[in-house]
Structure 1
Amino acid sequence: MLKGAGAISDLQRLTVSLRGGYEQQPQCLLFSFTGQLDAYSDKQFIEFVSGHLGEVSRPVVLDLSRIDFLDSSGLGALVQLAKQFQQSGHNFLVVGNARVVQTVKLVRLEEFLHLQPDLDTALGRLSAA
């Protein structure tokens, strides 16, 4: 595992049900979230990620491995961010747990979202690129 890789411990409250944080890793900008990504938190999720991209040209990793619940609004937020990343030229990967992976695969978005099974795999893919 790369030095500094892993869950971000200091997460700020975005909504009652969603917490998020970010840090610059050597090879990416890593966002980490915990809680629920749903109709009550999708706007704050998008604003949080978009607001911290700035002029960063490095790849983005969205770590959703600690998300307990993902609904259609959360999926819509991920699609909206993916389109934003593509338009701005950012490479990106989404890391999910079993629940997130199942939901994303149900709507066949795993390739579009560059879904990865865990953070180590995602960071390994960035290092190999």
Structure 2
Amino acid sequence: MSSTSKHVVAQNRHTENDHSGMSLHTHFQPGATIVQVRGAVEGYDARRLSDYVSEVASSSRPLILDLRRVDFFTGEGFRTLIGIAERCRLSGVRWALVSSDAIDRLLRTIDSSYRLPIAPSVEEALQQLTSADPAWSPPHRV
């Protein structure tokens, strides 16, 4: 996870790969970094997502992983989310993810005691992650 100044100007970053079923778009907002993911998260793309999040995440800014437009999600994608959660925890990054139907379906079938910080919307995640209450923890579900 990188460390960046708290005074980051809002900017956008977009990466897309023609042979990939996944695209990533990052909004560096004044209060948080929002990574929007679209398409399928499987195999190579799961690793690419992990690397990308590691590159843009910072302990000085909350991270929102917006997965609402993910339409296909595999066990490899789930393992990627667990890895992201662990790296964020170890690096002190406050984060939340916004799920999709594809991810919810997979989470219902996986037998895991691991809890992910799932928020119902980007707006609620942003509000809660940037609130003055350091004890707030986004809703977790398996």
TM-score (norm: length of structure 2): 0.73
The reply to whether residue 104 of structure 1 matches residue 98 of structure 2 is no
Q: Which residue of 1 aligns with 2:26?
A: 22
- 5 Å matches for 1:65-76? 65-76=68-79
Q: CA deviation at 1:10?
A: 6.7
Structure 1 pair 10–29 and aligned structure 2 pair: CA distance change class (3 A): closer
SS class of match (2:128): helix
CA distance in 2, matches of 1:49, 1:37: 14
Q: Is the 8 A contact 2:95 2:129 kept in 1?
A: no
CA distance in 2, matches of 1:10, 1:83: 24
Structure 1: tracts of 5 or more residues without a match: 1-8
CA distance in 2, matches of 1:110, 1:101: 15
Deviations 1:22-48 (A, max 9, x none): 121122111111001111311111111
CA RMSD of aligned residues (A): 2.3
Deviates more, 1:107-116 or 1:40-49: 107-116
Q: Which has the larger radius of gyration?
A: 2
CA distance in 2, matches of 1:109, 1:29: 28
Structure 1 pair 105–127 and aligned structure 2 pair: CA distance change class (3 A): farther
The reply to whether residue 50 of structure 1 matches residue 62 of structure 2 is no
Q: Is the 8 A contact 2:96 2:119 kept in 1?
A: yes
* Count of matched residue pairs: 120
Structure 1 pair 116–105 and aligned structure 2 pair: CA distance change class (3 A): farther
Q: Given residue 48 of structure 2, which amino acid in structure 1 is its aligned partner?
A: Q
Structure 1 pair 111–26 and aligned structure 2 pair: CA distance change class (3 A): farther
Q: CA deviation at 1:110?
A: 9.3
CA distance in 1, matches of 2:111, 2:88: 19
Amino-acid identity (%): 22
The reply to whether residue 94 of structure 1 matches residue 97 of structure 2 is yes
TM-score (norm: length of structure 1): 0.80
Q: Which residue of 2 aligns with 1:3?
A: none
